């Protein structure tokens, strides 16, 4: 029994301990535990315990100089051969932070709310080819896929554990705060250290977004499930916000599984499918996606994928930059807008007389 | 409505604050909460160093900072500021202290006026985070002795490493030339 | 050996590491769970002490929507910056003049259903709200003895033109009580001409006191501490009850006041950021020279 | 009491206008916003039992409003049960059932949609043609599109309401 478990640990460590995100199944049944309060035991601890070290100011400067020197020139690797887009190709995704919501208007004058997602310092950390990539599922499709590990947001290397630091030692980029694994077809592989930008997506593309919803803690049935509660008066005492009966007597004489009851609400992974990218800012790496419903509060991390919806999939004639947009090599405009979107620098909308 | 209040122009508080106020339960409601804060602020201005629960100290700290900042900015001839001082200081001789002593003491200060130390709590006993809230520049001996950490082992090792780093750099430059 | 360049480089690095939390967010969540209350870090003022002095003192009153919503959980410095850029881009196409609650305005919008494909509405500004691109205001008028209100989004591209026909303030921050006032107080002719004020003169405050209709009302106005209303003429019991609902301690709650505002230093930074557009903003702020004309009602 | 207030504060006004506005105010106190009858929730939604105000000059509507017995909404022809501008409603007016079109709503509206001080209706018959010949108050321009969309070539034609309107807003 010990050996398979050890193998499992070593394999998962090899895969950088990040659960496959594309194939995760959303469980809606309330019986299944939907959130963990602690990370799994094999998850590498990222930050070390901090205590007042009272490092003198000269030494502090010295440490900063060393860090600066180490990461001033990223590790140069020979560029890999870039694949071409084919039917059913899967590209790498991006990690972004939700930075707010504001309205935009289309050219016919209708208002829409857009969520701003900042793609903050995304770099490829590792590519795992299909042979090395361990998939627990049995589908053939997933066995053919490799994975690209992407990290976002730099973290101070002095604050992290050695174990976590070693993950980045071959990459040549500063250690990352947030990492994720994206399943890709082998033709979409990317060399480690490749920067990823918001221009990975074009305006008009459709994306799927996964994130963790806002944690609302232990909530009653009215907030959690939208129950109606009970009347404020007419003889009701102490039951104004309660759910009422949860089961019946007779032959059943038990509470049926899946009964909606008070409990922990929020902090669950949620997928939104088929959101349109309306606008891209290539300078600040910001994406404007449709709708205010991107999971999580302002500042939470989300994962952006090409949409899996059958009618939103890319075709060989019209597909986004593959395997990614190399922004350092090509010129690109600062602001990119969708055709239907009214950019603010354009004159006001006027309707023509018929 | 969902707008920043523009009638008043308030200088930034120089300490970390909570995004929302803490709801200390009080039989008198929100008014009672303010009266409780008032007691702490009065004690702080009077004694300059008070030991209390951390949550209460952290909450009262913001009020004390704002009060001192407005006393510095507006002086004692500004009626709303005087009313505010009158409300927040239960003992009226402290109003003079606020304007004549504290406002003068912190006039050129560029940092916060108060300091909050985490304090140990008694064992065995009911666990509650304790803290010491004090005004900066008070006459008492310091709580955290400012011993030099130069002789600590990691600082000595780092200094040595720094020297080596400089030598290495020099050598590299020589070889380049 | 470590030169100035390296030092500044180290400083930049430190900025990269710390900046995301400090500059961009201004707040941090304590603990792992977001349920723990958010802590707001102190705002680091600009190093240049002249910045605060250089900002025109009335900018926060004239352009309140440039100040972000002060709720820390929703704030992000980068988003606010991009939003301000978009606002200025819109303003360079469609100038938005200075206006206040109580000003009489005319708004022209593109309307596919209207006769000439544009629709003009004249009215008194009774409410304005929200910040950034969401900013809006409401106009009220009585046309053919029918009270009408229309809400306009200031940055909507459908808006063709905003004119201020009479620039003045009222005694209250919201004029919602005009809904319960006699219709004459919110009746304005649609062909009203622009009243011109002398240049540089302060914005006049109209001290008019409005007569309300007898109850029932939309709200309990006796509890609102209204200045621009004549004696409500209610029995004593109404005022007694209003007294019970007063919150006299709220004006002493220094931190509540602080949490509802953007600090002075931060405002200075925001207005410095848009300072390159000051000529544009100022040229469209008050069009033409104006002279004070007394309102016929007062 | 209302007319009292007016003479006290606006005795220099136009005489004809005074008369009209006094009528309007009298009716207004019965319908829409500050109605003495408790019609609906404070959001002033048009639901069943809400009192409405007839704004055309049909004999039926005029007499009902002058008698102080404003029509009562007894059905709304949409799926939400809440009426919006342009929706068709069934009203009980002077013991009769009549259909009507909502031409203005009192509840808070979206941007660019006018919010009226009262819930206005125009009475129509089965074919969609209005009972009156004039509408006294402005109606929103969005009705042009909505009523055209609602009309059917062989069914009811509601666009005649647009022809009898005096002013669009």
CB atoms within 10 A of CB D72: 16
Q: Which residues from A are below 8 Å from C111, CB to CB?
A: 351
Average pLDDT over residues B1-13: 90
Assess A297–C contact: CB distance below 8 Å, yes or no: yes
B176, part of any domain: yes
Set of chain C residues whose Cβ sits within 8 Å of the Cβ of A348: 93-94, 110, 157-160
Least confident piece of the model among A13-22, B10-19, C133-142? A13-22
Q: How far is A19 from chain C (nearest CA, A)?
A: 20
Task: Tell whether C52 is covered by a domain.
Answer: no
B/e letters for A220-243, b = 16+ CB within 10 Å, e = fewer, are: bbbebeebeebeeeeeeeeeeeeb
Chain B, residues 18-77, CB within 8 A of chain A, namely none
Q: What is the rounded (10 degree) CA torsion for A64, A65, A67, A72?
A: 130
Angle at A340 between CA A338 and CA A342, to 5 degrees: 85
Alpha helical stretches, state H, C162-248: 236-244
The set of residues, in sequence order, having a beta carbon less than 8 Å from that of C95 and lying 6+ positions away, is C162, C283, C284
3-state secondary structure of C130: coil
* Same structural domain, B149 and B135: no
Confirm or reject contact between A317 and chain C (CB < 8 A).
Answer: no
Give the separation between CA A234 and CA D55, rounded to whole angstroms. Answer: 40
Report if residue C1 sits inside a domain. no
The answer to whether residues B61 and B115 belong to one domain is yes
Give the mean pLDDT of chain B.
93
Q: What is the pLDDT of residues D93-137, one digit of tens each?
A: 999 999 999 999 999 999 999 999 999 999 999 999 999 999 989
The alpha carbon of residue A354 is apart from the nearest alpha carbon of chain C, in Å, by 10
Asked whether the beta carbons of residue A62 and residue B158 sit closer than 8 angstroms, the reply is: yes
Q: How high is the mean pLDDT in each 10-residue block of chain A (354 residues)? A: 44 44 43 77 85 90 91 75 91 96 95 96 93 77 89 92 90 91 93 93 96 93 92 92 88 85 90 96 96 94 95 91 90 94 95 84
All chains having 3 or more CB pairs closer than 8 angstroms to chain C: A, B, D
- Does one domain contain both B173 and B91? no
Count the neighbouring beta carbons within 10 Å of the beta carbon of residue C253.
19
Cβ contacts of D24 on chain C, cutoff 8 Å: 145, 183
pLDDT at site C32:
38
Q: Please report the pLDDT score of residue C26 as a whole number.
A: 57
- B77 and B50 in a single domain? The answer is yes
Whether B20 and C41 lie within 8 Å, measured CB to CB: no
Q: How confident is the model at residue C282 (pLDDT cuts 50, 70, 90)?
A: confident
- B82/B123 same-domain check: yes
Average pLDDT over residues C180-187: 95
Distance from CA of C197 to the nearest CA of D (A): 28
One domain, residues B83 and B150: no
Is residue C77 domain-resident? Answer: yes
Q: Do C156 and A105 touch (CB under 8 A)?
A: yes
Is residue B1 domain-resident? no
Burial class (CB in 10 A: 0-12, 13-18, 19+), C227: exposed
Neighbour count for residue B138 (Cβ, 10 Å): 13
pLDDT for res A311: 92
Cβ of A66 within 8 Å of Cβ of B155? The answer is no
Using CB atoms, list chains with 3+ pairs below 8 Å to chain B: A, C
Record: contact C78-A215, CB cut-off 8 A: no
Q: What is the number of alpha carbons within 13 Å of residue A335 lying toward its C-beta?
A: 12
Element holding A336 (H helix, E strand): strand A335-337
Q: What is the pLDDT of residue A74?
A: 64
Same structural domain, B94 and B132: yes
Distance in angstroms (rounded) separating the CA atoms of residues D94 and D127: 21
Give the span between the Cα atoms of D89 and D77, in whole angstroms: 6
Specify whether B134 is located in the same domain as B64: yes
Question: Could you tell me if residue B65 is inside a domain?
Answer: yes
Interface contact A346-C35, CB threshold 8 A: no
Within a domain: residue C263?
yes
What pLDDT is attached to residue B160?
A: 95
Which of C82, C86, C112 best probes binding to A when mutated, by most A CB atoms within 10 angstroms? C82
For C203, residues 6+ apart whose C-beta sits below 8 A from its C-beta are C98, C100, C167, C168, C169
Share of chain D above pLDDT 90, in %: 67
Number of domains in chain C: 2
Interchain contact B/C (3 or more Cβ pairs less than 8 Å): yes
Residues in B closer than 8 angstroms to A63, CB to CB, are 158
In a domain? residue B170 = yes
Closest-approach residue (CA) in chain C for A101: C79
Residue D34 predicted with pLDDT over 90 = no
Taking an 8 Å cut-off on Cβ atoms, the answer to whether A54 and B158 are in contact is no
Higher pLDDT, C26 or A45: A45
Q: B151: domain range?
A: 145-177
Contact B17 C40 (CB under 8 A): yes
Which of A36, A66, A67, A99 best probes binding to C when mutated, by most C CB atoms within 10 angstroms?
A99
pLDDT bin (cut points 50, 70, 90) of residue B67 is: very high
Confirm whether B129 is domain-assigned.
yes
Residue C31's pLDDT is: 36
pLDDT at position C25: 58
B132 and B49 Cβ atoms separated by less than 8 Å: yes
Query: Quick one: B75 and B91 in the same domain?
Result: yes
Do C150 and D104 lie within an 8 Å CB cutoff? no
**CB contact A347 to C (< 8 Å):** yes
Q: Which of residues 122-141 of C touch D (CB under 8 A)?
A: 136
Share of chain C above pLDDT 70, in %: 83
Residue B3 in any domain: the answer is: no
Q: In the A/C pair of chains, how many CB contacts fall below 8 A?
A: 116
Q: Which residue of C has its CA nearest to B173?
A: C1
Q: What is the pLDDT of residue C204?
A: 92
Residues in C touching A347 (Cβ below 8 Å) = 93
Angle at B102 between CA B96 and CA B103, to 5 degrees: 90
Do residue C263 and residue B66 have CB atoms under 8 angstroms apart? no
Are C84 and C21 contained in the same domain?
no
Domain co-membership, C32 together with C130: no
Residue C33's pLDDT band (cuts 50, 70, 90): very low
**CB contact, 8 Å: C244 with chain B?**
no
C139 to chain D: closest CA residue: D114
**Nearest one of A347, A337, A288 to A119, comparing CA atoms:** A288
Same domain, B123 and B52: yes
| Contact with chain B for residue C34, Cβ under 8 A | no
If asked whether residues C40 and C115 sit together in one domain, one would say no
* Nearest-CA distance C263 → chain D (Å): 31
Centroid of chain to Cα C223: 24
B111 φ, ψ (degrees, to nearest 5): -125, -175
Interface of A with C in 94-133 (CB under 8 A): 99-100, 102-103, 105, 109, 111, 116, 118, 120
A86 to chain C, minimum CA–CA distance in Å? 36
* One domain, residues B86 and B23: yes
- pLDDT at residue B6 is higher than 50: yes
CATH code for the domain in which residue C199 is found: 2.30.30.790
**C41 in the same domain as C104:** no
* Chain C nearest-CA residue for A106: C157
Count of structural domains, chain B: 2
Which of B150, B154, B162 lies closest to A62 in CB terms? B162
**Tokens coding A192:** 């480690």
CA distances in angstroms from A226 to A222, A243, A260, A267, B114, listed in the order given? 5, 10, 10, 18, 46
d(CA C171, CA C208) in angstroms, rounded, equals 8
Looking at residue C278, what is its pLDDT? 83
Asked if C30 and C67 sit in the same domain, the reply is no
Chains that touch D (3 or more CB pairs under 8 A): C
Q: What is the pLDDT of residue C290?
A: 47
B18 and C40: CB-CB below 8 Å?
yes
The Cα B139–Cα A189 span in angstroms is 66
**Are residues C149 and C281 both part of a single domain?**
yes
Structure tokens at C185: 């107080």
Same structural domain, C34 and C92: no
Strands D115-116 and D120-124: unpaired
Neighbours of chain A (3+ CB pairs under 8 A): B, C
Let me know: does C127 contact C174? Beta carbons within 8 Å: yes
Closest CA to C79 of A214, A286, A341: A286
Q: Give the closest-approach CA distance of B84 to chain A in angstroms.
A: 35
Do C69 and C192 fall into the same domain? yes
Q: Which of B155, B161, B165 sits opposite A55 (nearest CB)?
A: B155
Q: Which residues of C touch B2 (CB under 8 A)?
A: 69, 129-131, 134
**A153, A300, A346: residue with CB nearest C20:** A153
Q: Are residues C34 and C118 in the same domain?
A: no
Is residue B172 located within the same domain as residue B104?
A: no
Q: Quick check: bond before B124 cis, omega within 30?
A: yes
Mean pLDDT of D9-28: 43
Domain CATH number, residue B78: 3.90.1030.10
Indicate if C173 and C260 belong to the same structural domain.
yes
Residues C121 and D161: their CA atoms lie apart, in Å, by: 22
**What is the residue range of C38's domain?**
17-46
What is the distance between the alpha carbons of residues A136 and B29, in angstroms, rounded to a whole number? 57
Residue C55: pLDDT band with limits 50, 70, 90:
confident
Contacts of A53 in chain B (CB under 8 A): 154
Residue B2 lies in a domain: no
- Is residue C235 in a domain? no
Residue C153 sits at the chain B interface (C-beta within 8 Å): no
Tally of CA atoms within 13 A in the half-sphere of B175 that contains its CB: 6
Residue B156 and residue B134 in contact, taking contact as beta carbons nearer than 8 Å: no
In a domain? residue C203: yes
Quick check: B159 and A58 CB within 8 A? yes
Same domain, C199 and C125: yes
Q: What is the mean pLDDT of the segment spanning B85-98?
A: 95
Closest partner residue to C131 (CB to CB) among B3, B10, B30 is B3
Segment holding D15, helix H or strand E: helix D15-28
pLDDT interval class at D15 (50, 70, 90) = very low
pLDDT at C128 over 80: yes
Specify whether C260 is located in the same domain as C114: yes
- How far is C-alpha D5 from the chain's CA centre? 26
């Amino acid at each position: 029994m010990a050996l398979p478990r050890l193998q499992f640990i070593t394999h998962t460590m090899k895969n950088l301990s990040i659960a496959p995100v594309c194939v995760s199944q959303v469980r809606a049944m309330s019986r299944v535990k939907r959130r963990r309060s602690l990370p799994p035991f094999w998850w590498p601890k990222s930050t070390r315990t901090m205590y007042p070290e009272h490092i003198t100011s000269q030494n502090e400067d010295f440490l900063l100089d060393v860090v600066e020197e180490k990461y001033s020139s990223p590790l140069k690797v020979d560029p890999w051969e870039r694949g071409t887009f084919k039917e059913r190709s899967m590209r790498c995704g991006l990690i972004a932070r939700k930075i707010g919501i504001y309205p935009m208007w289309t050219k016919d004058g209708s208002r829409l709310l857009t969520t701003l997602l900042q793609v903050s310092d995304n770099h490829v950390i590792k590519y795992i080819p299909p042979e090395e990539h361990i998939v627990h599922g049995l589908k053939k499709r997933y066995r053919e896929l490799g994975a690209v590990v992407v990290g976002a947001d730099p973290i101070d290397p002095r604050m992290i554990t050695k174990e976590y630091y070693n993950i980045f030692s071959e990459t040549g980029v500063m250690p990352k705060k947030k990492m994720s694994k994206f399943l890709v077809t082998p033709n979409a592989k990317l060399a480690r250290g490749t920067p990823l930008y918001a221009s990975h997506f074009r305006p008009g593309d459709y994306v799927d977004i996964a994130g963790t919803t806002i944690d609302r803690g232990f909530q009653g049935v009215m907030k959690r499930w939208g129950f109606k509660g009970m009347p404020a008066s007419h003889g009701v005492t102490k039951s104004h916000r309660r759910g009422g009966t949860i089961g019946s007597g007779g032959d059943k004489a038990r509470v049926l599984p899946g009964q909606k009851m008070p409990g922990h609400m929020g902090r669950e992974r949620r997928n939104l499918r088929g959101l349109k990218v309306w606008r891209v800012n290539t300078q600040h790496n910001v994406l404007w996606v449709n709708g205010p419903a991107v999971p999580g509060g302002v500042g939470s991390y989300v994962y952006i994928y090409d949409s899996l919806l059958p009618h939103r999939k890319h075709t060989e004639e019209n597909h986004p930059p593959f395997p990614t947009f190399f922004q350092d090599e090509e010129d690109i405009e600062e602001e990119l807008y969708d055709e239907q979107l009214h950019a603010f620098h354009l004159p006001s909308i006027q309707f023509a007389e018929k | 409505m969902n707008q920043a209040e523009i009638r008043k122009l308030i200088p930034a508080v120089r300490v970390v604050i909570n995004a929302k106020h803490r709801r200390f339960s009080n039989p008198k409601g929100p008014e009672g909460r303010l009266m409780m804060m008032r007691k702490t602020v009065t004690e702080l201005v009077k004694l300059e160093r008070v030991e209390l629960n951390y949550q209460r100290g952290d909450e009262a700290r913001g009020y004390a900072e704002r009060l001192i900042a407005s006393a510095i900015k507006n002086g004692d001839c500004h009626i709303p500021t005087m009313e505010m001082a009158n409300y927040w200081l239960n003992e009226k001789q402290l109003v003079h202290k606020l304007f004549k002593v504290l406002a003068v003491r912190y006039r050129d200060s560029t940092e916060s006026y108060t300091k909050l130390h985490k304090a140990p709590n008694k064992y065995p006993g009911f666990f509650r985070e304790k803290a010491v809230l004090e005004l900066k520049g008070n006459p008492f001996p310091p709580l955290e002795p400012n011993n030099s950490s130069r002789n600590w082992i990691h600082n000595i090792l780092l200094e040595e490493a720094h020297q080596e780093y400089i030598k290495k750099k020099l050598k590299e430059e020589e070889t380049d030339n | 050996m470590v030169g100035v360049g390296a030092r500044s480089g180290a400083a930049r690095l430190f900025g990269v590491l710390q900046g995301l939390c400090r500059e961009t967010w201004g707040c941090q969540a304590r603990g792992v769970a977001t349920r723990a209350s958010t802590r707001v870090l102190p705002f680091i003022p600009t190093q240049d002490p002249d910045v605060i002095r250089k900002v025109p003192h009335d900018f926060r009153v004239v352009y309140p929507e440039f100040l972000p919503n002060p709720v820390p959980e929703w704030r992000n410095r980068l988003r606010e910056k991009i939003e301000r850029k978009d606002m200025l881009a819109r303003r360079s196409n469609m100038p938005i003049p200075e206006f206040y609650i109580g000003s009489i305005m005319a708004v022209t919008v593109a309307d596919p259903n209207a006769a000439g494909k544009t629709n003009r509405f004249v009215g008194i500004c009774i409410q304005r709200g929200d910040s950034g691109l969401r900013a809006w205001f409401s106009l009220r008028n009585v046309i053919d003895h029918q009270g009408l209100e229309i809400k306009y989004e200031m940055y909507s591209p459908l808006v063709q033109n905003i004119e201020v026909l009479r620039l003045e303030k009222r005694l209250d921050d919201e004029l919602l009580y005009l809904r319960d006032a006699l219709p004459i107080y919110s009746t304005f002719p649609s062909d009203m001409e622009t009243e011109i004020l002398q240049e540089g003169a302060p914005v006049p405050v109209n001290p008019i006191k409005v007569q309300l209709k007898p109850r029932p009302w939309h709200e309990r106005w006796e509890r609102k501490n209204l200045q621009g209303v004549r004696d409500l003429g209610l029995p004593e019991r109404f005022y007694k009850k209003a007294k019970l609902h007063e919150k006299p301690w709220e004006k002493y709650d220094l931190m509540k006041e602080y949490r509802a505002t953007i600090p002075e230093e931060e405002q200075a930074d925001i207005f410095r950021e848009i300072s390159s557009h000051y000529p544009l903003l100022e040229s469209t702020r008050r069009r033409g020279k104006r002279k004070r004309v007394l309102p016929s009602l007062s | 009491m209302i007319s009292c207030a007016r003479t006290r504060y606006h005795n220099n006004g136009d005489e004809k206008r005074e008369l009209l506005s006094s009528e309007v105010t009298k009716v207004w106190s019965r319908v829409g916003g500050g109605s003495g009858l408790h019609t609906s929730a404070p959001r002033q939604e048009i639901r069943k039992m809400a009192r409405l105000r007839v704004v055309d000059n049909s004999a039926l509507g005029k007499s009902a409003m002058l008698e102080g017995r404003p029509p009562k909404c007894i059905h709304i022809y949409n799926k939400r049960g809440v009426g919006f501008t342009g929706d068709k409603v069934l009203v009980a007016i002077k013991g009769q059932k009549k259909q009507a079109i909502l031409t203005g709503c009192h509840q808070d509206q979206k941007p660019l949609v006018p919010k009226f001080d009262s819930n206005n209706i125009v009475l129509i018959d089965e074919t969609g043609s209005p009972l009156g010949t004039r509408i006294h108050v402005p109606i929103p321009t969005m009705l042009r599109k909505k009523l055209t969309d609602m009309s059917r070539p062989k069914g009811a034609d509601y666009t005649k309401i647009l022809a009898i309107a005096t002013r669009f807003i």
